[in-house]
Amino acid sequence: MKRDMDLVRGILLEVEKAQPGRAWDLRRAIADGAFPGHDETTVLSHAFLMREAGLLEIRTGSNGSGEWKVAWLGHDFIDSARNDTVWERAKGAIREKGFGLSIELLKGVLSKLAKDALGLP
């Protein structure tokens, strides 16, 4: 399976929508069509990779069911990547140079775009 950073972003945005104090269940979201074009295995694999990377946390369940929440690093990433235009610009800048999309590269480019927009050095 090839990692899909658009799916990573989509999962973070979906988990972030959860109401405080209410469980967000990944399997239910998949069944409800939250990730069109992606099968259950792909979404679950990405979610578990994101947990390993410190972007997501799960409280219960080992098969995708249970309470998922965005971790601190996930919030930092999604705050940078929330805007669709900025997200596409960051991906385009990385691909234009022939690099693959990694969390670290995306965070760096997204940070630079934000600094440039704010007129910061």
Domains contained in the chain, CATH given: 5-71 (1.10.10.10), 78-116 (no CATH)
What digits encode the pLDDT tens for the residues 87-107? 999 999 999 999 999 999 999
Residues 21, 78: Cα–Cα separation, whole Å? 20
Residues 71, 50: Cα–Cα separation, whole Å? 10
User: 67: pLDDT confidence band, cut at 50, 70 and 90?
Assistant: confident
User: 62: pLDDT confidence band, cut at 50, 70 and 90?
Assistant: low
Residues 17, 96: Cα–Cα separation, whole Å? 32
pLDDT given for residue 49 in this prediction? 95
Which value, to the nearest 10 degrees, does the dihedral of the CA atoms of residues 38, 41, 47, 52 take?
-140
- Does the pLDDT of residue 110 top 90, yes or no? yes
Q: Please give the structure tokens belonging to residue 23.
A: 């469980």
- 54-61 mean pLDDT: 83
The number of helices, as runs of H, and strands, as runs of E, in the chain is: 6, 2
Residues 99, 106: Cα–Cα separation, whole Å? 11
User: Quick one: which H or E segment has residue 68?
Assistant: strand 68-70
Residue 57 · residue 68 · CB < 8 Å: yes
